[in-house]
Amino acid sequence: MSSGSIASASSRSNMRLTSVVSHLSDSKPKVVICRDLGPATALLMNRTDIEVVLWPEDRGCAREWLLENIKGAVGVLVLLPDIVNAELLEAAGPNLRVVSTMSVGYEHIDLPLMAQRKIRVGYTPDVLTEAVADLSVMLALMAGRNDGVAYSLVKNGDASGSWSKFNWSPFTFCGPQLSTTASSPNRTVGFLGFGRISQATLARLVPFGITHCIYTGSPTSKPETARDAALKAKYKLAAVERVDLDRLARESDVLFVLTPGGKETYHLVDAAFLKKMKEMSVLINTSRGTVVDSDALATALHEKWIWGAGLDVVEGEPRIGTDHPLVKEPRCVIVPHIGSATFQTRMDMATRAIDNLIGGVFGTEMPAELDAR
């Protein structure tokens, strides 16, 4: 980088690591960046009022490097794999004012500890809403239309040979249609969580002829009847209704899991939930892998409790090998957590994370600050 220079950093366990350092000066606040942010990196490296220490390798930031280089830092920009806990804060010392994460999720940050230390926390909501909604609809179409099996036949063939040798029949590869038809005039979509991404997903589904929308909300949140009535009128739906988990499972033709992770939502979609779902229903998860019990879902698919599943997230990712029970299920379409993976959205996320970081460093407004209390 033209505005930076390469300086050696101390190493442990015989590891030789270097850091990209910008505008080195004892009088400037030091910030640590745990990953190259692509085109957005220049927004940091071109500043003359901060010292930037950047993890220099094209892989996840090594914990050893972070603990060494966080010393004396005023701010740190992290990603989901970078755990922000007491160990990191002790290594940083008393100067740390802000933790900015390039993510919507913040399970990797000990929020009570941040509140205790009066460290501000920034995250990146809103900017990835549209991209994740796009992917949610894509997965619904892929899972319902047997994309995994059909694509594999063309790409890899199967036991009977290639596509050209496949024995076609009228109902081969058929699956449940997302849109309504003359013989199936009603379609109910369900949302486990009904925040920004769910509402953006609903907007995309309306042209398919969706007739009913049901959802669950946090037990501590108040009903939003005025909003629901407005959505019902806007999209000319038969219903936009908040329901309990039992009804959500029983009535959804396509169920979108779009709720935060954490203890409160851990394995909300379990075997009991899945057994209540329709045999032709499709489950989509583009939020957090921990919300869905993977073993229960694999059983549900194998025993045909439900038709299919489309997953952008899986519990235990990225340690998901070809022997994983969900990977083995032909009606389960899995993509590797790419919900926000568009050039536009990732640039917006990186920029938001940087703006949060700078706001925290200099005690000004942060565009998206979490209430860590």
| 18 bridge partner residues | 8
pLDDT tens-digit profile of 44-75? 999 999 999 999 998 999 999 999 999 999 99
Q: Per-residue pLDDT averaged across 334-338, rounded?
A: 96
pLDDT(326) > 90: yes
Give 159's pLDDT tier (boundaries 50, 70, 90): low
pLDDT computed for residue 161 by the predictor: 66
The architecture that CATH gives domain 4-126+344-370 is: 3-Layer(aba) Sandwich (3.40)
pLDDT computed for residue 163 by the predictor: 83
Check if the beta carbon of residue 296 is closer than 8 Å to that of residue 325.
Answer: no
**CA–CA separation, 75 and 100 (whole Å):** 8
pTM given for the model: 0.86
pLDDT computed for residue 164 by the predictor: 81
Give 329's pLDDT tier (boundaries 50, 70, 90): very high
pLDDT(26) > 70: no
Whole-number percent of the chain with pLDDT over 70: 91
User: What count of other Cβ atoms lies within 10 Å of the Cβ of residue 259?
Assistant: 25
Residues 6+ apart with CB under 8 A from 301: 308, 309, 326, 329, 331, 332
pLDDT tens-digit profile of 251-298? 999 999 999 888 899 999 999 999 999 999 999 999 999 999 999 999
Q: Per-residue pLDDT averaged across 160-185, rounded?
A: 87
Answer yes or no: same fold for 4-126+344-370 and 129-334.
yes
pLDDT tens-digit profile of 124-146? 999 999 999 999 999 999 999 98
Whole-number percent of the chain with pLDDT over 90: 81
**CA–CA separation, 237 and 320 (whole Å):** 39
pLDDT computed for residue 236 by the predictor: 98
| Secondary structure of the chain as H, E, C letters | CCCEEEEECCCCCCCCCEEEEECCCCCCCEEEECCCCHHHHHHHHCCCCCEEEECCCCCCCCHHHHHHHCCCCCEEEECCCCCECHHHHHHHCCCCCEEEECCCCCCCECHHHHHHHCCEEECCCCCCHHHHHHHHHHHHHHHHCCHHHHHHHHHHCECCECHHHCCCCCCCCCCCCCCCCCCCCCCEEEEECCCHHHHHHHHHHHHHCCCEEEEECCCCCCCCHHHHHHHHHHHCCCEEEECCHHHHHHHCCEEEECCCCCHHHCCCECHHHHHHCCCCCEEEECCCHHHECHHHHHHHHHCCCCCEEEECCCCCCCCCCCCCHHHHCCCEEECCCCCCCCHHHHHHHHHHHHHHHHHHHCCCCCCCEECCC
Check if the beta carbon of residue 246 is closer than 8 Å to that of residue 192.
Answer: no
**CA–CA separation, 327 and 330 (whole Å):** 8
Q: Domain segments of the chain: what residues? A: 4-126+344-370, 129-334
Catalytic residues: 337
pLDDT(318) > 60: yes
Which residue's structure tokens are 């959804």?
252
The mean of the pLDDT values for the chain is: 91
The yes or no reply on domain 129-334 and CATH 3.40.50.720 is: yes
Considering only CA atoms, which of 15, 17, 22 is closest in space to residue 1? 22
pLDDT tens-digit profile of 226-238? 999 999 999 999 9
